[in-house]
Structure 1
Amino acid sequence: MTTNNGYRTLWRWHFYAGLFVMPLLIVLAVTGTLYCFQPQIERVIYRDRLVVEPQAQPRLPEEALLARAAGILPKGAVASSARIANDPTLSAEFIFRLPDGERESVYVNPYTGAVLGTLSVEHRFMQIDRMLHRKLLLGKPGELLMELAACWTLVMIGTGIALWWPRECARAGRKFWPNFSMKGRALWKSVHAVLGVWLAVGALAFIVTGLPWTGSWGKQFKSLATSASLGAPPGAWGGLRLHSQARDGGRPSIDSADAHHVDHADAVAGAGADASRMGSMPGMTMDDMPLANVPWAVGAVPVPRVPAHAHDPRARLPLDRLIEDVRRFGLTHAYEIAFPQSPDGVYTVTYFPPDPRGERTLYLDQYSGAVLKDIRYRDYGAVAKAISFGTSLHMGRYFGLANQIACTLISLGLAAMAVTGCVMWWKRRPVGKLGAPGREHGMPPMRVWKAGLALLGILFPLMGASLVAVWVTDRALFGRPAER
């Protein structure tokens, strides 16, 4: 094959991208596949705690179940959230913050009140898998590394397709299937190239839907989308009328907001003087809440708070009454409730269903149960709506088992690409050397590719810095002219 017209340059960049991305791609593929099947996996490995035998007798009150759960934990443990499944085969789950700062899930049989067991939130199998997928269990450095891997995968996809692109139209059809008549490295190369072409669209979809959740670029992108009215709904950043009403005579006082969706425009317009005394938990956003899943559109939204009053803590709305109210608001199962942790806190309810059009976040007065803010999918900006759909597809949730299988095929296909790429490199690598493809004589302009890399570096600053670092290192240490 000819090596002019930039072929070796593309190969060189493809090599560098693959050298960095391939090991991380295997980690992403394996952990992502496991996470797609979280509901099935957890039902198997934690069956003794999650699954119960349905009974004809009614469930015990949620408040009683919560008390049973709290009773087995050490003194100082504080209930932080509950997962309301309303599935007759599932146990009741309550999450507590322990005195040492760790979080513990307690599972209770909803029919008998028997405590079935506990699980560490931070150390349960699927949470470790999730943190491996997002951060390699390395905290912020790992999160940035995974973000870089996603960006470099874009380079790998682009250069890979360019290297594969048929030079002769007559042979184009053959390029979509491996040539099993070949042997050795040529066969590995054929399999690698065909896999890459078939998986390119899926890999690109994974990157595009995963980047908005990254800790650096994703967080900045979320702020930008919100400021441009394309992300979180209007009014989500505060300025809404929020007020708690203490119970009168032991009974909750429900105002007119209780049974209606709060109109954001009216709320913002009427904020006025209330805005000076209303606000949000200092430094607390929805992403900081003790909730397993929070819709992307509301992740950076500050958690509302209300002015501190001399309320009797015993006047807080009982959990059963809260669940009854939430049911009247249209949510019946598979949602989470974060409990208020202070007298000026609120109940936070988040619903994160497979179909993103049903996503919903509610803030309720902890004393009256009145709806203070109700954020639904229809309130999202255009970007947030698209990302919600992408997230559901990325996680294998949107169309059930078929979605899980599709994600698995793409993920394992990408892992196979990583393996074939490593084998190809190992077979051609000179002993004791890196084996990077040599530079071309008479470097072609390649203006389109340079413009593309520059744009990528501008869109993703972390990626831009790494591009410069790789270029400088390559010129200084590994540059050599290609043999004619």
Structure 2
Amino acid sequence: MKKNEKLNKWLWKWHFLAGLITLPFILILSITGGIYLFKTDYEAKKQQHITEVSVQGEPIGFQEQWEIANQNAVKKPNSMIVPTKNNQATQFVSGRFSGKSDLYINPYTGKVSGEVITKKTDMYKVRKLHGELLMGSFGTKIVELIASWMVVLIVTGLYIFWPARKWNLSGFFIPRWKHGKRTFFRDLHAISGFWISGLLILVLAGGFPWTDVFGENFKYVQKVTNTGFPKTWHGIGLQSQPTGNAITLDEMVAKAVALELPGQTTIHFPKGPKGVFSISNQNPSDLESQKKIHYDQYSGQEMMTVAWADVGILMRARMWVMAFHQGEFGKWNWWLMLGVALVLTIMSISALVSYVLRKRKGSWGIPKVPVAFRVGYGIAIVVVILGLVFPLFGASILLLVLIEYLRKLKRKKVHPVPAS
């Protein structure tokens, strides 16, 4: 592959500028992302005194526990996690996402063992720092902008790193440590970036659905193409026929246990007198095994089963990359994500050290581009496509073009071209 040297210098300039601006944020994202991977183990130990109880004779019924939960929860519970162990407190869930809270009932004593409010947990703060820099919606947009530019950094970095003339296989694996500190740290940055570039694109794909602008656009595309969750997944349009008394939660738990669904099984409570009971399982290690079954709350009869194959292709892809992003596919995925977080941190720090060693006093050290270079149609088309896919990136490019135009205009006024 023969490289265009002028194009290489132009891409190097933009890679340099983008990296310099985004570096502090990338470090925050990589470090907080790595910390968040420990969420499950960290919270399991911290909340053990709430989630685990001593086995004491026969447990009370789930219906009675539900009534206790209704009386004590901050918000009325909308679902219950089916327990799988005798020493497990019964978990009643209220709300969703950041408004979620979990009330735990001791099934032997009927007492509340504790309540976990998501917003008050340590890992919630880590997640907020990772996803929005603790700045709410504005912070989310900054993270989205940084993630968009990271895609550009990866693409330009691959082109810049690719050898222009002769190949040296060791140059793809080992930094040159005999050529001085600057060369060593530059190689460390380039080589580590080369080897995780594909993974990093996949990780970024798993983060974009949480963003404001791209995320909302993606949801809109799902809606117009009918490739999201079907209405039946949420039981929309299904109604129970009120005849006598509703079945008990104990009966629903028996049905859920009989299904032997893999992963964590949840029973969703009816919304109103015509609502339905629903049973679903969350099993990130095998998304295809997930399903949702709806039941008439009075007769207990099965009304509809929705399998994962019934979910639209864009939603299934979205859930896959999001689960991958969080390391939920098993230990291999968890270690892989931790590795990406560590390598990204090392790569960012090595880039900073290399820049400090390269930078001359009184200068930003911005790479120079030949005056004769002009951006071709191919590059322009790529930039436009990226700007459409990532609107915040597109907006930032327009702003940079405007700034560059105003700078040129100012230079012309200060140094006017003499008349011939």
TM-score w.r.t. the length of structure 2 is: 0.84
- Aligned-CA RMSD value: 3.3
Mean alpha-carbon deviation: is it higher for 213-222 or for 455-464?
213-222
Task: State the partner residue of 1:227.
Answer: 224
Distance 1:244 1:408 in 2: 46
CA deviation vs aligned residue, 1:447-476 (integer Å, no higher than 9, x gap): 433321111112222221122123333554
- What is the identity, as a one-letter code, of the residue corresponding to 1:166? P
The secondary structure found in structure 2 opposite 1:351 is strand
Counterpart of 1:242 (choices 238, 242, 258) is 238
Counterpart amino acid of residue 8 in structure 2: Y
Q: In 1, distance between residues paired with 2:263 and 2:172?
A: 49
| Pairing partner for 1:391 from 314, 322, 342 | 322
The secondary structure found in structure 2 opposite 1:117 is: strand
Q: Is the 8 A contact 1:93 1:108 kept in 2?
A: yes
Deviates more, 1:373-382 or 1:222-231: 222-231
338 and 16 in structure 1: CA distance in 2 versus 1, 3 angstrom threshold: farther
Q: Are residue 416 (structure 1) and residue 346 (structure 2) matched?
A: yes
Partner deviation per Cα, 1:69-88 (whole Å, 9 max, x = no partner) = 455557xx522332224234
Give the 3-state SS of the residue equivalent to 2:77 in structure 1.
strand
> Matches of 1:195 and 1:5 in 2, distance apart?
25
2:65 maps to which residue? 65
Number of residue pairs matched?
A: 406
- In structure 2, list runs of 5 or more residues that go unmatched: 412-420
Is 1:109 the counterpart of 2:106 in the alignment?
yes
Deviations 1:186-222 (A, max 9, x none): 2211111111111111101111232234332223223
Unaligned runs of 5+ in 1: 249-314
Q: Which has the higher helix share?
A: 2
Partners of 1:145 and 1:418 in 2: CA distance = 18
Identify the match of residue 152 of structure 1 among 137, 149, 152.
149
Q: Is the 8 A contact 2:262 2:281 kept in 1?
A: no
Separation in 2, partners of 1:84, 1:179: 56
1:401 to 331, 335, 342: 331
SS in 2 for 1:200: helix
Q: Distance in 1 between matches of 2:408 and 2:187?
A: 27
The one-letter amino acid of 2:373's match is M
Aligned residue identity for 2:29 = L
Task: Work out whether residues 439 and 480 of structure 1, in 8 Å CA contact, stay in contact via their aligned partners in 2.
Answer: no
How far has the Cα of 1:178 moved from its partner? 0.9
Decide whether the 8 Å contact of 1:326 with 1:332 is kept in 2.
no
Could you tell me which amino acid in structure 1 is paired with residue 345 of structure 2? Answer: A
Structure 2 counterpart SS, 1:361: strand
Q: Distance in 2 between matches of 1:404 and 1:158?
A: 25
Aligned twin of 2:372: 442
- Residue range with higher mean Cα deviation, 458-467 or 315-324: 315-324
Whole-angstrom distance in 2 between the partners of 1:24 and 1:372: 49
* 1:181 maps onto 2:112 in alignment: no
| % identical equivalent positions | 26
> In the alignment, what sits opposite 2:138?
141
Give the match for residue 193 of structure 2: 196
Contact 1:32–1:411 at 8 Å: present in 2 too?
yes
Following the alignment from structure 2 to structure 1, what is the Cα–Cα distance between the partners of residues 266 and 410? 59
Q: Deviations 1:121-144 (Å, cap 9, x if unpaired)?
A: 222122333333322333322222
Match in the other structure for 2:309: 378
One-letter code of the match for 2:184?
L
* Counterpart residue number, 1:84: 82
- 2:256 maps to 1:326: yes
8 Å Cα contact 1:335-1:349 kept in structure 2: yes
Per-residue deviation, residues 97-117 of structure 1 (Å, max 9, x unmatched):
7xxx96542223334434322
8 Å contact kept, 1:134–1:146: yes
- Report the more deviating stretch, 9-18 or 372-381: 372-381
Alignment partner of 2:200: what SS? Answer: helix
Q: Which residue of 1 aligns with 2:35?
A: 34
Q: Distance in 2 between matches of 1:16 and 1:478?
A: 19
Cα pair distance change 1:183/1:113, threshold 3 Å: farther
> How many angstroms does 1:152 deviate by?
1.0
- Residue 465, structure 1, aligned to residue 395, structure 2: yes
Partner of 1:13: 14
- Paired residue secondary structure (1:375): strand
Structure 1 equivalent of residue 414 of structure 2:
none
Aligned to 1:49: 50
CA–CA distance in structure 1, aligned partners of residues 410 and 57 of structure 2: 78
In structure 2, the partner of 1:295 is none
CA apart distance, 1:379 = 0.8
Shift of 1:246: 1.8
Deviation, structure 1 residue 377:
1.0
Residue 456 of structure 1 corresponds to 386
In structure 1, the residue matched to 2:93 is 95
Which one-letter code corresponds to 1:242 in the other structure?
A: L
Letter in 1 for 2:325: H
Tell me how far 1:10 sits from its aligned partner: 0.8
Report the Cα distance in structure 2 between the residues aligned to 1:233 and 1:476, rounded to whole angstroms: 50
2:27 maps to a residue whose letter is I
Counterpart-to-counterpart distance in 1, 2:282 and 2:292 = 9
User: CA offset at residue 365 of structure 1?
Assistant: 3.8
446-455 vs 429-438, which deviates more?
Answer: 429-438
In the alignment, is the contact (CA less than 8 A) between 2:91 and 2:103 conserved in 1?
yes
- Over residues 330-357 of structure 1, what are the superposed CA-to-partner deviations in whole Å (9 max), with x where a residue is unaligned? 5376133443454444445442212111
CA–CA distance in structure 2, aligned partners of residues 80 and 232 of structure 1: 20
Equivalent residue of 1:170, what SS?
coil
1:369/1:403 CA distance change after superposition, 3 Å: same
Moved more, 431-440 or 315-324: 431-440
Paired with 1:119 and 1:444, the residues of 2 have a C-alpha distance of: 58
Q: Contact conserved, 2:277 with 2:297, CA < 8 A, in 1?
A: yes
